[in-house]
Structure 1
Amino acid sequence: MYQVPDYNQTVSMKLSEVLADIGVDERIVMKRRRTWLLMESIQNITLQQLNRNDSAYIFGSQSEGTTTIDLQSDLDHIYCNKDLPIIQDWSDWIPGVNNLLMIQDNSISPGYCLLQRLRSDAPLPEDGESNQYLFKDRTGKLLLKNFIVSLLNINLEIHGPAGFQQGQQGLSDIDFVYALHCTTWPQQARQWLDQQGEGQWPSAEMKQYCSRTGCFVVGVGCRGSEHEQVEWRISTSLAERCLMFNLNIIQIRCYVLMKIISKTFINPLFKDVITSFMCKTVLFHCISNTHNNIWRENNLLSCLSLCLYLLYNNIIYENCPHFIITGNNLMRGKISPAVKPYILEILSNIINSAGVAILGIKCDDLGSRLQHKFYNLCTIKTSDIISESLLFSLAVHIYMTLKKINHHLKDSTCSPNEAVEILKNYVSKTINCQYEGLDKTASHLLLPWYCTTLGSVLASLNIYHYNTVSADALKLISLGLNTDVASSKLKLASILYCVQEIQKADTVLSEIERRYDLQIVEPVCSCYQFERELSRQGFFDLCDNHNEEDLQYITASCVRYLQCEIHCVPTELRYEMFRSTQEDRMFRTEEDNNWMDCAVVDSLPYLYFLQYKVHSHLGRHDQKQAVLFKLIRTIKEEPNLGHRETALNLLGKCI
C-alpha cells in the first residue's frame, strides 16, 4: 500500500480545503461546466435559427471548471464552418462541395498540416493559379492560405488566428477562433490511440470517443516554417475536453495549482513562457504514467511536486510534447537561453520548499488562507461569488443571443409581415427539433423570448390595422411572460396601454411590482459595455443554490422594441427608434450597436413610467406622484442601469 508521510498528508489536506474554499470543488466545477456548455448549446441553436452552416464551441479553463476568481481565465470560442469539408482520404471526397485534402508529410511541422483545394465535380486536385485565397506551390498543389480569420465580420482585436473581445466588468475576456473541422482523427495522432502508459489512462473507451471527435484546423502556421503562410495548426480540443472531464478533483486541483504558481512566480518575470496549455499537457503526461492510487486528497502536495518536476525536465530539454500529437513540441522557440536558468531556479526552489513556497502566493489569497487553515481559523468561501458570476453571465449570454436574432429582424429590408414569418419559423424550429440534454434546456430558455417578440410584432400589426390585439398575439405573449421578472410582462402592459385597456394594464403592472424584489432582482443589459457595480447581496445569496431555471425570478432584462413593434410602444418612447443619423451609422458597427435603432429601456424605470401613465388615466393623483418619486430614485440610485439616458427622457416627459 502506498504510504504518505504525516507532514505531506497534513499539508495536502489543508491545501485541498483551501482550494475547495476558492471554488475548486466538485460542485462548483460541475456548475461551471454546465453553465458554459449551456451557453454553447444556446449559440448552436441560434446559428441554426439564422440558417448559418456553422457550429460553435466554448473551450478553455472556464468551461473546464479549472479556474479561480483571481486566475481570470479567458474563454476560447471556436466557430467552425461546415461549408469546406476536410478529408484525409480520397475515398471520403464529397461531390458538389469544395473539399479540402489535409496534407501531413515530413515537410510539414508536427501538429500542422496543409489544405489542398480539390475539384467539386471529381475526386481530383483543383487546377489553377495563386490568388487572394490560394497559393500554388512548386509541385502545383493549390493550397488554402491561413489568413481566413480576417474574413470574420467581427469588430475584434486580432491575436494570431483569433479575435479578442474584452469582457465587461465581472465577465471573462473572449478569444474568437475561426476554424474548419475534419470529421476524421488526424494521422499524426493515430499512434496515440494505441499507446498505453503505466497509469492505464486514458481508458480505451475514452480514446475511442476521442477518435470520433475528429479535429479542428486553425489558421496559423508554425513560426519560422517555410510554409508558415499556408500551414494550419491541428487542434484536438474536443478530445482534450473529454480528457479534462474525466479527471478527478485532485487532478483538477493539481492543474489549478500549477497555473497559480506560474501566474505568481514565473509570468510576472517571463510572460507567456509557461502557458496554461503546457501545464495541462504536463498533467496529462503525469496521469498517464503514474498509478491512479497516488491521486488522492492526502497526497496533493506530492502530486503537485511530480507535475512541477516533469515541467522542470521539459524546460531542461526545451521539449514539452503535445499529449496527443507527441511530435509537436509546445516549447519550441519559447524559452531563450537567457531566461532558462532563471525559470529552472524558480521551479527548483518551489519543488524543494515542501509546500512552504505556497504560503507566499497572493493569488486568491492562497498563502494566507493556507496559514489560517493551520491555525484552524475560518476562511471565506467564494462559491457565492462564482455562482453569481456564472448565472449573470448566462443571463447576459441569452440577451446577447437575442441581439443577434433582433439584428436579423431589424434589417431595413425586413417588413413587419416578413418579421412575423421569420419569428414563426424560429418558434416552429425550436418546438419541432427533438433536442436532448442541455440542448433541450437551451431551447426552453430561448423559446419564451421568441414567443414574446412574435406576439409583440403581431400585436403591433393588429393595432396599426384594427386598433385592437388578436387572441393569437395575446396567446403568444402569454407563453413568454416568464422570461424574467419584468421585461416580457412589461411588453404586455405596454400593449394593453396602447389599446386603452388601462385597467388590465394596471393589473399587470401591479403584478410586476409585486414580483420585483428590489433586494434581489438584478438588471441585465448587454446592449453595450459599461462599468457595472457589484450585484446586490440578495442576488448573490440566491445564486449559490440556484440554476438557470431561476433567472425568471431574479433578473430583469432591459425591454427592447424593434421598429416592427412600434405600435406597441408609448409615444414618448417611440422617439428612441429614430435617434441615429446617417453620420452616426458611419462610425459604428451594426453588430455591436444595432440597439441604437431600437427603443430600449431598463425594466424598473419602464415599470414606473407605465404606472405613472396608467395612474394619470385613472385619475389617481397620489399614486401618480408616488411612482414619479420611485422613478426619480431609481435613476439616481440604481447603479446598474444600462439605459439611464432613456430613463431620464421618460422622466422628462412625465414632468
Structure 2
Amino acid sequence: MFHTPDHYHNISMRLSDVLGDIGVNEKMLLKMRRTAVLDETNRTIIFRGRKHQMTSYNFGSWSEGTTTLGLRSDTDHLFTKDDINVIQDWSEWTLGKRNYLMIQNETIPPGYSLLQKLRNDVPLPDTHEYDNHFAKDTSGRILFKNTIVDKFLQVATGRHQRQGPSIALTQQPGVLDEDLVSALPCTSWPQSAKACLSHLDVNNWPTANMYRYIKTTKCFVVGVGNKVSENADFEWRLSTSLAERSLMFNLNITQIRCYILMKMIIKTYINPDNESYISSFMCKTVLFHCIASKPSYIWKECNILNCLTYCILTLNRCISCRNCPHFFDCENNLMAGKFSNTVKQVLLQTTAKLIPCDGMSLFGIQFDNVGERLQIKLNIMNGVHHNIPSPDEYTRFTSATLLGNTTGSILDIHNGVIQEIKDKSLVKKLRILLQIVQHLTRYYRDGDILVKVSSRLLAPIYCSSIGSLIASHNIQINNTVSPQALVWLETGLDSDVASSRLKLASILYCTGQMKSAAFILNDVYQRYNTEVTEPQCGCYLFPATSNKIRFGQISSQYDEEAVKYIAAYCVTFCREEINCVPHELQYEMFRSTQEDIQHRDILDDGWMDCAVVDSLPYLYFLQYKTLGNLNRPEEQQQALTKLIWATKTENNLGHRETALNLLGQCMEQENRLDDALQCYMLSLHVRETNNAAKIHICRCLANTHL
C-alpha cells in the first residue's frame, strides 16, 4: 500500500486510543445502534397499533454509531408509506395498493426515476391527473410529482425547511438538527443497481453472507430530483439506505474510526464554512470502495494512518475526475454538478496536503479535542493544564444522551397519538388507546427481544392515559373513581420514576382522598432521587443542559429499561382529563389567547392545549396542597420550600414556566402577593407567549388593589 515508517505504528495506536477515549469503541457503537433501532421499533409499533400503513427507519450517523458528541451529527428519520407500491414490471402490481411504475431511460439521470401512476383495481395505467401533484407527459402517462413533499411544509412554520427530500428542523440552540424524510418503498431493486450488485466481488467484501442479506433489503424512492435536470419536479431519487446500513453494521472498529476521521478532516479542512462540496455520504461511499478493493487484514488499529491515507487518496482521485460512483449504482455519480472546475482545483490542493496522513493534519482537528488528545498521547503536549473530558466522562455524556433520546422518543410518540385523537369523542379516544395497548400486548407475546423491550417501555404510559380518561369521566358523573379506572392506572405505574404515579395521586387529590394521595406522593418522593433522576420532556425539542453524573453512570451501565428507575417524564393531562387536575393546573389548558396561537408551531406545539408539568415540581406542589388539607402545616411548608428549590435549581425542567405558575399560586395562598407576582414574571421570562402567567398576573394585580 505505502511504505510504512516506523513511527506510523505508534501514531496509529495512539490515534486509536484517542478515538476510543471519545466513545468510538465497541461498547458505545452497540449502544448507539440499539438506541436507533429501538426508536424505529417504537414508532413502527405505534403506527401499526393505529392501523397506519407506515414503517419508521433511522439512518445516518447515530444509527450507524459513526459520530461523536463533538461532530453534532443530525438525526435522519425515514418514514415509508406501505400502502404504496413502486414496481419495475407489471408482475409486481398489487391489488389494494397505490401502484406506481418506475420509469428509467437515457433521458433520466442515473440514480433517479419517474413514477407513473397505475390504477388500483386492475394493472393498467391510470389516465386521471387528480390534483397538482400529478401531470401528464407527452406520452400520455400520468406522472407523480415529487412536489408532494412540499405539502408537508404547508403546516410548518419558519423553523422547518425543505432540504432535498426532507423536512429539516435546524438552528435550534442546544438541539441536534433533525431530518424527516417521507419515502415510497420499492418492491424490488432497480435494474441499474441490480447490475452493479451482481458485479461485487463476494469473495472479498461484501462477503457472501452480506451479499445474500443485501439482496433481501428494501430500497426506496424519495421526493427530490436532480438539481441540473429539466424534469426535477418529476424525478425521484433512489435510496439503498437499508443496504448501506447493513454494510456499516458489518464494519470493524478500525473502519468505523477511519470514517469518523474522514468526516472530521472534511469538516476541518474541506468544508470549514458549512459548505457541502464533499458530503458525509461521499466519504462513506469512498470508504466502501476502499474496503472492497483492499484485503481485510490491513484494517487494524496499528495501521489506521495508512488506511486513512488510502481513503483520502481515493477521495482525491474522485475529486480529480469529479466522479464518485454510488456503491450500489455505479452509473450514479455522487459528485455530478456538485462543484465547478475552480472549486475542484482548490479541493485537490487541500486534499493533496493531507496525503499522507502522518499525524500533522490530525493535530488541527478540534472536534472532541482530537488534535490535542493525540498530541498529549504522543507526549508532544503536556495534558495537565488542558480541561479535556476523560474517557469516563465521555461515556457518561454519550450514554445519558442516548437514554434521553429513548425517553424523548417514547414521549414524542405518545404526544403524537394524543394530538391525533384530541378532537375525537371520549369513547373513540378510549377505543383507540385500548387498540394500541392490545396491539402492544400481541407484540410482546409474539415479537423478538427488541420488540418485547419496546412493548414493555411503551405500554404503561398508554394504560395510564386510559385510566386517567376513565377517572375524569367518573369524577364528572359522581366524584368517585371506578375500579376499572384504578386497574388501568395501577397497570401503568411503572412507566418511569414518577409521572404515572403522580397522575394517580392527582386523581386521588381531586376526589378528596387526601390520605391515599399523601401515601402515593411519599412513595414517589422515596423513588425520586434528585442526585440521579433526570426530568425528561418530549413535548418539544428541549435543549437539555449537562446531565447529572450518576444519571450518566447508570445510563452507561444499564440498558434502556433504566428509564423506569432514573427518568421522570412530564405529567400530561389532555382536556378530557380536566377533572383529574387541581384547578391551579387547569389554567395551563387555556394558556393561549388568539394572538398567542399565531405564535405556535402547528407541528411542535400541540401540547399547549394540555396541562403539562415536570414531575418534580408537581410532586412538591401536590404535597403542599395535600398536606395543607390534612392540616400538617410544618410538612406543608417543607414541601413549599422544596418547590421553590426545584424551580430554581433543577437544570432540565422542560416546563419551568408551569412550575413557576404553580409556585406563584402557592404564594397567593400564603398571601405573599409580591412573591407570587415575581414568580409569574419569571415564568413569562421563560416563555413569553402561550403562557397562563398572563392570567395569573391579571388576577393577582386585581387582588392587590382590592
Distance in 1, matches of 2:202 and 2:583, equals: 73
1:619 to 631, 634, 645: 631
For residues 131 and 472 of structure 2, the distance between their equivalents in structure 1, rounded to whole angstroms, comes to 50
| Residue in structure 1 matched with residue 688 of structure 2 by the alignment | none
Q: Distance in 2 between matches of 1:287 and 1:424?
A: 50
Q: Give yes or no for the alignment of 1:480 onto 2:489.
A: no
Deviation at residue 467 of structure 1 after TM alignment = 2.1
Structure-2 residue corresponding to 1:495: 507
1:427 corresponds to which residue? 437
Matched, 1:193 2:183: no
In structure 1, the partner of 2:665 is 653
Q: Is the 8 A contact 1:487 1:603 kept in 2?
A: yes
Tell me the equivalent position of 1:20. Answer: 20
What amino acid sits opposite 2:427 in the alignment? N
- Give the Cα–Cα distance (whole angstroms) in 1 for the partners of residues 652 and 620 of structure 2: 17
| SS of aligned partner of 1:469 | coil
- 1:549/1:199 Cα in 2 relative to 1: closer, same or farther (>3 Å)? same
Aligned to 2:8: 8
Whether 2:389 is the aligned partner of 1:385: answer: no
What are the superposed Cα offsets for residues 320-366 of structure 1, whole Å, 9 maximum, x if unpaired?
00000000001111121112222212211111352221112212111
Aligned mate of 2:212, from 203, 208, 211 = 208
Shift in alpha-carbon separation, 1:418–1:582, aligned structure 2, 3 A = farther
Using the TM superposition, name which of 192-201 and 559-568 deviates more. 192-201
How far apart in 2 are the matches of 1:355 and 1:521? 42
Q: Give the drift of 1:5.
A: 4.9
**Structure 2 partner of 1:504:** 516
- What's the counterpart of residue 584 of structure 2? 572
Map of 1:397 onto structure 2 = 409
Matches within 5 A, 1:63-74: 63-74=63-74
Deviation at 1:211, TM superposition (A): 1.7
Residue 457 in 1 paired to residue 461 in 2? Answer: no
Please give the secondary structure, in 1, of the residue aligned with 2:572: strand
Assess, with a 3 A threshold, how the Cα gap between structure 1 residues 532 and 353 changes in structure 2: closer, same or farther: closer
Aligned counterparts of 1:66 and 1:530: Cα–Cα separation in 2: 24
Name the aligned partner's letter for residue 416 of structure 1. L
Note closer, same or farther for the CA distance 1:205–1:357 as it changes in structure 2 (3 Å cut): same
Specify the SS of the correspondent of 1:482: helix
Q: Which residue of 2 aligns with 1:334?
A: 338
Q: CA deviation at 1:530?
A: 4.7
Q: Which moved more, 1:281-290 or 1:402-411?
A: 402-411
Write the deviation string for residues 79-108 of structure 1: whole angstroms up to 9, x where unpaired. 111232111111111234431101112221
Which whole-Å CA distance do the structure 1 matches of 2:570 and 2:468 have between them?
A: 15
The answer on 1:371 being equivalent to 2:381 is no
Describe the superposition over 1:140-192 as per-residue Cα deviations: whole angstroms up to 9, x where unpaired: 22211111111226522111221011376554211111111102111111123
Aligned equivalents of 2:435, 2:171: Cα separation in 1: 32
Q: CA deviation at 1:630?
A: 1.2
Are residues 1:43 and 2:55 paired?
no
Alpha-carbon distance change, 612 to 421 in structure 1, aligned in 2, over 3 angstroms:
same
**Alpha-carbon distance in 2 for matches of 1:130, 1:146:** 15
SS of residue in 2 equivalent to 1:640:
coil
Counterparts in 2 of 1:486-635, with a 5 A limit? 486-635=498-647
TM-score (norm 1): 0.96
Q: Distance in 1 between matches of 2:15 and 2:325?
A: 29
User: Is 1:132 matched with 2:132?
Assistant: yes
- Corresponding residue for 1:253? 257
Residue of structure 1 in register with 2:356 after alignment:
352
What SS is found at the alignment partner of 1:17? helix
In the TM superposition, what is the alpha-carbon distance from 1:552 to its structure 2 partner?
Answer: 1.4
1:510 deviates by 0.8
Aligned mates of 1:33, 1:530 — CA distance in 2: 23
What is the rounded CA distance, in whole Å, between the counterparts of 2:181 and 2:126 in structure 1? 27
Q: Which moved more, 1:292-301 or 1:93-102?
A: 93-102
The whole-number CA distance in structure 2 between the counterparts of 1:343 and 1:307 is 15
| Residue pair 1:112, 1:231 contacting (<8 A) in 2 also | yes
Letter in 2 for 1:449: I
**Amino acid corresponding to residue 331 of structure 1 in structure 2:** M
Offset, 1:584: 3.6
CA RMSD, Structure 1 to Structure 2 (Å): 2.1
Task: Report the Cα distance in structure 2 between the residues aligned to 1:629 and 1:580, rounded to whole angstroms.
Answer: 30
Identity %: 47
Letter in 2 for 1:491: K
The question of whether the paired residues in 2 share the 8 Å contact of 1:198 and 1:288 is answered with no
SS in 1 for 2:225: coil
Tell me, in whole angstroms, the C-alpha distance in 2 between the residues paired with 1:2 and 1:477: 66
CA offset at residue 607 of structure 1? 0.8
For 1:522 and 1:350, the matched residues in 2 are separated by 44
- Alpha-carbon separation, structure 1, partners of 2:168 and 2:429: 32
Counterpart CA distance in 2 for 1:108 and 1:7 is 50
Find the residue that maps to 2:354 and give its secondary structure: helix
| CA distance, structure 1, for counterparts of residue 310 and residue 383 of structure 2 | 30
Moved more, 325-334 or 47-56: 47-56
> What whole-Å deviation, never above 9, does each CA across 1:267-294 have from its counterpart, x for those lacking one?
0168111110010000000111111111
Q: Structure 1 pair 353/168, CA: closer, same or farther in 2 (3 Å)?
A: closer
Q: Note if contact 2:540-2:605 (Cα within 8 Å) is conserved in structure 1.
A: yes
- Asked if structure 2 preserves the Cα contact closer than 8 Å seen for 1:102 and 1:113, the reply is yes
Q: 1:312 to 1:526 in 2, by over 3 A?
A: same
Of the structure 1 ranges 195-204 and 545-554, higher mean CA displacement relative to structure 2 is found in 195-204
CA distance in 2, matches of 1:262, 1:163: 25
SS of equivalent residue, structure 1 residue 508:
helix
State the distance in 2 between where 1:96 and 1:584 align: 44
- The amino acid of 2:493's aligned partner reads L
- Structure 2: state its 5+ residue gaps: 671-706
**Counterpart in the other structure of 2:675:** none
Match of 1:289 in 2: 293
Determine which of 392, 416, 437 is the counterpart of 2:426: 416
Code of the residue aligned with 1:593 in structure 2: it is D
What is the CA distance between 1:199 and its match in structure 2? 6.7
Whole-angstrom distance in 2 between the partners of 1:506 and 1:388: 32
Q: Which moved more, 1:278-287 or 1:550-559?
A: 550-559
Segment drifting more, 73-82 vs 26-35: 73-82
Number of residue equivalences: 653
AA aligned opposite 1:191? A
Give deviations 1:169-225, integer Å, cap 9, x for gaps.
554211111111102111111123322349711122212222222311111111222
